[in-house]
A and B are shown apart, each in its own frame.
Chain A
Amino acid sequence: MSEKRKDEIPLLEVDHLAVTFYTPHGTFHVVRDVSFTIQRGEVLALVGETGCGKSISAFAIVNYLLPFHPGESRVDGTILFEGKDLIAMPDSELHKLRGSRIAMVYQNPGTSLNPTMRVGLQMEEVLREHLGVESKQAHQRTVKLFDSVGLAEPDRIGQRYPHQLSGGMQQRVMIAMALACDPDLLIMDEPTTGLDVTTEATILDLMVDLKRRVNAGILFVSHNLGTVARVADRVAVMYAGQTIEQAPTSAIFKRSKHPYTTGLLQCVPQPPAEDRAGTKLRSIPGDTYAPEEGNLQACLFAPRCPMAQELCRTEAPEMLSVRDNQQSRCFFWNNVHKEIWGELEPRDEGLRESVEPVLSARNLRRFFGQWQRKYILFGPRVRLPVRAVTNIGFQVGTGRTLGIVGESGCGKTTVARLLVGLIPRQRGDILLRTEELAPLIEGRTDQQRAALRMVFQNPTTSLNPKLPARHAIVRSLQKLARLSGKDSRERAEELARAVRLEPAYLERRPEALSGGEQQRIVLAAAFAGEADLIIADEAVASLDVSVQAQVIKLLEDHQRESGTSYIFISHDLGVVRYISDDILVLYAGHIAESGPAECVLNIPSHPYTEALLSAVPVPDPDAMPTRIRLGGAVPTLRERFQGCFFAGRCPRKIGPICDNTPPPVNTGPDPPDHAIYCHIPPEELMKLQSD
């Protein structure tokens, strides 16, 4: 594409945007004061945690606030698009810009496409509406657009329905639809949040590519600092409905000038320099300033800020200029540096001797569904069972943490449920020290139930919404610790304090607690039985970054005090990297690699681990991603793998042997418990992966 035009007038100029919702329950200031600009050809990331108002700000640009709040709303400020104020514009005129000049891509592509209309048609109607092209032309342009976003078989894919496409493909369709009329402004609201890491990496690649090709300005809304570091040119950070810092990407990550930004960056697990140990995760104490509260004559971050002064509590700061293109909403931005939150402590590398394994699993297998024949009683077999977990085994040492990592469909959730007895295993054993555990939880003894506990992903649904928060903790104490009446109540309060919650919180209903508080209650209940091993199944996945760090800290502290082992299941390699002593990498129900964390995270690696590591977005704008990319999608798990389970997508496939023979287990030379399931011997892998 020819060189980009840098107009004098910014493409989009948002100035003191404020959005207020009026409800019978009160007035909500969801956006208080947001300002940013986007030039043509640049990507501005709008970053913040849950509730900061970033999505609403994005939707306010196209004036679509209905889903957030059906009642009365008010938008103040100005939004200038190529010099014209969108807020003042009548709806009929604004509607003409939608889809043609300003296009959007959404968070959840699966529900954002009409399930009863073929995707090609959904694309063509945009072309027909705005460009007035006829049927045949529309079809041709559709095929070209699908091709430009990297969809396989672009001429045939238009015939499919959304549910027949994978998440990544659906999002590519959405991006193609957004680009159909060559828009000037592209708004992307958390476009990769619902996708697997390896898929996310390919979509981010696409975005970087688009930046070159397309002359649009892109507004990229996200809470994931890693993705922001990869694609954004400039970043605007939001807190409690305000933009609090705006700067070019490298400045934000390396020289941020607002305490919140600095603190936030320290909450994200960074990849270690040479070895695994890095610095301890920071957490930001307190809670976000709520939208129900009015606008204060003070800095909204002051209650949580480590360098807050009298001035911060009496006057509201404006966006002050730090440098030519960096602003910060802090009176004392000049004093902001990395250590304002305290010294960065190195993690203690205490050797955790594994005396004897606390939990061993061998040859686990679990399939779902049955064989069904085509003509009810005879004919070829049609529906094969889903092979969720095929032959998985591992051990967890006392006081150690095993991280299980993999993407959707790898079987990690099923493994968790098998271990804990929610689903019965079909083959294999699970041993708690030396006792064999019954397949179903109902068949296990009370002591066994107390010894093995589980924390789930969604804290809101982990607590009964109709009962007070203490219910989960008290019942756990009563059933597992055999405490009753007064004892259980006292101990419940102790546990609450141990997870940094005031006992008064126990009386509240879960809805009155934030996500982080809810998850802490769940932790307290898990700690109640003095378990030997706690399984955390994506326990921090739905929490904000700053809250995530709090929960991880609690887990670490508890482990240090009580010697509890953990199995930490996650798709977030960054967190797993931080917390695990040993790592198990799963793919399509099989083990790809296992061993001590330092070994797994280093070369030699299984080709899948390699791809996974190179796909993880890292919150460091200078990091050059190694370009291992996986095509295709995770297999459907209905077929029995003749050869290697990864053969379909492996970038290091060596030949027919990968398709025909299951891979051998190669235990590494140095730590003998480092296992790689690959036809390529480790020494060879070491050589290949060293460039």
Chain B
Amino acid sequence: MARFIARRLGLICITLLVVSLVIFVITELLPGDVAAMILGKEATEESLERLREELGLNRPAYERYLSWVGDVLRGDLGDSYALKLPITDIVGRRLRHSVILAAFAFLVGVPAAVAAGIWAGIHPNTKLDRIVSMTGLVGISIPEFVTGLLLMLLFSSTLHLLPSSSIILPGVNPLTSPQILIMPALTITSVLFAYIMRMTRANVIEVMQADYIRTAILKGLPMKRVILRHLFPNAMLPTITVIASSFGWMLGGIIIVENVFAYPGIGQLLLRSIETHDIPLLEVVTLIVAGTYAISNLLADLSYAALDPRVRLG
């Protein structure tokens, strides 16, 4: 078991390293002169050259990469080109906002999806199951921006119940003004719900075919116990993997949803940094997003190992 964890942690480090390398390589390929971007078009050649020296832009690539990695590990994330502020300040706040959305989606969406999936899987091909399955299918088919805009159309434009954009002023805690959160959170949750529900349903249907379910039923156990103690634990194992992979998928969705509702989270930051060619910011945000995904996968693997006695005890 300890070996398993050690191996997995090792893999994570390698993955993060690869991620940082990919980011660095991509940004290396970008056109444009960094110094010019910072100082603007009117800057003189001398001041540009001085800035380049200062920023170390004339050093060879691998040196710059290594020093960047070193900085990150020390906690020094550098300054944003466009905003002229330390990145750490910018990122922290935005990250918090995105986490609220993600947390809502997860804490509300996942249990609901799992419950619905289990129910549908136990009663396959009944009328209600067909409706639920169809809803799930539609849910994963409609892009997040479509869902978001439809909600906006309904609640903001037509019913005037909720504000159409979710801009949060600095210093304001979004949790205190929930009306900003409702539509973005609902949008993200709906897609997550559909995806997880479908996968859970498929897993449950598969587990229901297992021999040990037959044994449990023919032992005379009530269906409730069969479902709770025999079906659920075994169907949850593959579902955990599904939930972890949906996390990464949700990160992409957050980018879009934040764009639709102008919600100031990490997704918006990412898009902004792309628009303004703000490379240091882009690098850090990408690292955070990819890193979070990698860590969620690790957690899923670990929980699978902890829950499945075949892996735990070998």
List residues of A whose CB falls within 8 A of some B CB: 62, 64, 67, 95-100, 103-104, 106, 108, 111-117, 125-126, 129-130, 161, 163-164, 174, 177, 374, 376
Contacts and interface: CB of A to CB of B under 8 A. Distances in A.
Contacts of A129: 219-222, 225
Contacts of A97: 220
B234 interface: yes
Contacts of A100: 220
Contacts of B219: 98-99, 103, 125-126, 129, 177
A116 B236 CA distance: 11
A117 B230 contact: yes
A115 B214 contact: no
Contacts of B313: 161, 163-164
Nearest to B10: A376
Contacts of A161: 309-310, 313
Given A114-B234, A115-B308, A117-B230, 20 more contacts: A97-B220, A99-B219, A106-B211, A111-B210, A112-B211, A114-B216, A115-B234, A115-B309, A116-B234, A116-B237, A116-B308, A117-B233, A125-B219, A125-B221, A126-B219, A126-B220, A129-B219, A161-B309, A163-B310, A374-B3
A391 B70 CA distance: 55
A113 B212 contact: yes
B65 to A, nearest CB: 28
13 contacts: A98-B217, A98-B218, A99-B218, A99-B220, A106-B211, A111-B210, A113-B212, A113-B215, A114-B216, A114-B229, A116-B237, A125-B225, A126-B220
Given A117-B233, A125-B225, A161-B310, A67 B209 contact: yes
A557 B292 CA distance: 67
Contacts of B220: 95-100, 126, 129-130
Contacts of A117: 229-230, 233
B221 A163 contact: no
User: Would you list the 7 A-B pairs with minimal beta carbon distance, nearest first?
Assistant: A99-B220, A98-B220, A99-B219, A111-B211, A161-B309, A112-B211, A114-B212
A115 B310 contact: yes
A122 to B, nearest CB: 8
B6 interface: yes
A515 B167 CA distance: 69
B223 to A, nearest CB: 9
Contacts, number: 79
Contacts of A115: 212, 234, 308-310
Nearest to A114: B212
Nearest to B223: A95
Interface string B30-48: 0000000000000000000
B137 interface: no
B230 to A, nearest CB: 5
Interface in B1-56: 3, 6
B274 interface: no
A120 to B, nearest CB: 13
A64 to B, nearest CB: 6
Contact of B215 (A95, A106, A163, A376): A106
A121 to B, nearest CB: 9
A95 B234 CA distance: 23
Given A64-B217, A116-B234, A126-B220, A108 B308 contact: no
Nearest to A63: B218
Interface string B180-216: 0000000000000000000000000000011110111
B134 interface: no
Interface in B272-314: 307-310, 313
Contacts of B6: 376
Contacts of A163: 309-310, 313
B222 A114 contact: no
A207 B260 CA distance: 70
A116 B312 CA distance: 11
Contacts of A98: 217-220
Interface string B225-241: 10001100110010000
Contact of B218 (A62, A113, A374, A376): A62
A422 B90 CA distance: 60
A49 to B, nearest CB: 22
A113 B310 CA distance: 13
Contacts of B210: 111
Contacts of A99: 218-221
A125 B220 CA distance: 10
Nearest to A97: B220
B1 to A, nearest CB: 12
The residue in B3, B220, B225, B233 that gathers the most chain A C-beta atoms within 10 A of its C-beta is: B220
A196 B303 CA distance: 36
A306 B220 CA distance: 47
A540 B209 CA distance: 29
